Chain A
Amino acid sequence: MVTSFRSKLHNFIKNFYTLLIFIFLYAPIVVLIVFSFNASKYGTQWEGFTLDWYIKLFEDRAIMKSFYYTVAVAVLSSSIATVIGTFAAIGIHNMKPLRRQVMLNINNLPILNPDIVTGVSMMALFVFFKAQLGFITMLLAHITFNIPYVILSVLPKLRQMPKDILEAAMDLGATPWYAFRKVIVPEISPGIITGALIAFTMSIDDFVISFFTTGNGVSNLSIVIYSMARRGLNPKINALSTIMFVSVLLLLLIVNRQQGKESKKTYRIKGSEM
């Protein structure tokens, strides 16, 4: 009796704590979402339901333009970084140990360094070469901080790959390029996809590095949010948050379902091997 009461209390405390943490994590998001439908502009008083802020959001040229830049930079930088990073990973994988170690450490620098140092150093580079800060410089910066993530996702897959698979393919008459496309890429494709996805989200989410490497009226969503938030609260940001949260939620659900299917598949393959 006593133990069962104690374990019940134990469970209650556990659940209560979990609930508290989730309230802490989600309360701000819920507040944003609820108030994106509030007719009142400044107050926190509820003054009735409205979709005005959403309409105003889509009418806001600056926000829409920055949205376009955000997506363009994310798509371009993650694709370019994926290509360079995949080849780089193959190169690094086949390097002699010392060179590989040096290369990996350089590769880790943008990940380990504080964003602000990376941002400032890239800004210094562009100014040093008298490059006009804008879309291109922001894109170059994003590619640079994206490549390391691609490399770090592809390398483990290369290590898992049978060692002489490339030679075997070429002995059987494949050209290097054919062997690359038909043998290596299929083997490492999960790593490439993960790397590309990480790169894409990093790019979408980046503020600090973009903040230092852009200029000339080109800004991404993060920068626009920052400058709007510094001027105080703005219901349009609430509307934007709601849209972003819902899209992230949907995306995550889709990815999760996809992963569920995939893990079932690999499980089956592993099972048949045994």
Chain B
Amino acid sequence: MLKKYSGHPYIMWSLIFIVFPLLLVIYYSLVKASPETGKIIFSVEGYKTFAQPLYLKVFMKSIILAIEATVLCLIIGYPIAYIISTMQAKTQKIVALLLILPMWMNFLLRTYAWMAILKKNGFLNMFLEALGLPTVNLLFSDGAVLLGMVYNFLPFMVLPIYTVLSKIDKSVIEAAGDLGANSKTVLRKVVLPLSIPGVMSGITMVFMPAVSTFVISSLLGGGRSVLIGNLVEQQFLSVNNWNFGSAISVVLMVFILISMGLMKRYDAGEKGEMSLW
């Protein structure tokens, strides 16, 4: 009884609240109200609009910014993950905890903090002025958006890499040393290859939220930095063009699921029934 039926409420729930809504978005992306009769007709106009250079550019810009943020997180995050993994067990725990602590604060507050720092007479410029350096106007630029992404998603990169690194069998590293490898060779030939699964999940965990964000771009980018997320938000909440908004959502969803699928091939860590993607 228990074994057989306890899953049923959730089967119903997921059909209504997960599967059906996604089908609904796909449906809305393919229909629109006919301008003459007001009837619902089949139309791929949403996708056609999206294929216009103007919107493709927005899509490309989101992808490029997300890639830049991911690469930066990797460059900054890998060394710190490695450094933490070489610390003593007790310090390691505390440092790792300090690393996730900011993540526990509301995402919007963390982004808002950068507004206060980057604005014209903000904290950064006050600091620069005190040093006698020229002030910069960073807020409401792509650079600010990139900074916001790196700041918010850096822990997502560091944590999986750190987890993998700290699980590496120390005797493997010792063995490499005994066999004559110097520390650089050990790092390059042993530690780095073994940490690839962590790097892969770090990349997915940074890239995914970065490519679809609209909060960071609307707070730190002002009106100037429109990303694909902003486009979806506008179509649903202000322009009210569900056909177009749904088309973008479908493209975004397919893009994410495909790139996740590609990433998973290299991610040896999570095999089995966790996921098919």
Contacts and interface: CB of A to CB of B under 8 A. Distances in A.
A94 B104 contact: no
A108 B275 contact: yes
A205 interface: yes
Nearest to B256: A114
B209 A114 contact: yes
B116 interface: yes
A75 interface: no
Residue in A151, A221, A248 whose Cβ sees the most chain B Cβ within 10 Å: A248
A79 interface: no
Interface string A91-119: 11011010011011111111011111100
Interface of B is mostly: helix
Given A44-B121, A120-B236, A115 B108 contact: no
Contact of A101 (B211, B214, B276): B276
Contact of A116 (B109, B233, B257): B233
B127 to A, nearest CB: 10
Nearest to B204: A112
Given A87-B9, A90-B7, A140-B17, A27 B117 contact: yes
A128 B24 contact: yes
Nearest to A184: B2
A123 interface: yes
B269 interface: no
Nearest to B22: A121
B242 to A, nearest CB: 7
Contact of A87 (B6, B253, B277): B6
Given A17-B80, A147-B10, A225 B109 contact: yes
Interface in A135-179: 140-141, 143-144, 147, 151-152, 166, 176-177, 179
A51 interface: no
Interface stretch (B31-39, B50-58, B91-99, B168-176): B91-99
Interface residues of A, number: 85
Given A120-B236, A229-B219, A84 B10 contact: yes
A29 interface: yes
Interface stretch (B40-48, B191-199, B244-252): B244-252
Contacts of A208: 214-215
A222 B18 CA distance: 23
Interface string B212-227: 1011001100000000
Contacts of B79: 17
A32 B116 CA distance: 8
Nearest to B16: A125
Interface in B91-128: 95, 97-99, 101-102, 104-117, 119, 121-123, 126
A263 to B, nearest CB: 11
Given A17-B80, A104-B273, A44 B122 contact: yes
Given A90-B7, A226-B108, A252-B104, A176 B115 contact: no
Interface string A176-187: 110110000000
A53 B178 CA distance: 62
A225 B108 contact: yes
Interface in B226-277: 229, 232-233, 236-237, 242, 245-246, 249, 252-253, 256-257, 260, 273-277
A21 B114 CA distance: 16
> When A and B form their complex, which 9 residue pairs have the shortest distance between CB atoms, in order from nearest?
A91-B7, A88-B10, A28-B113, A114-B212, A121-B21, A87-B6, A94-B3, A125-B21, A144-B17
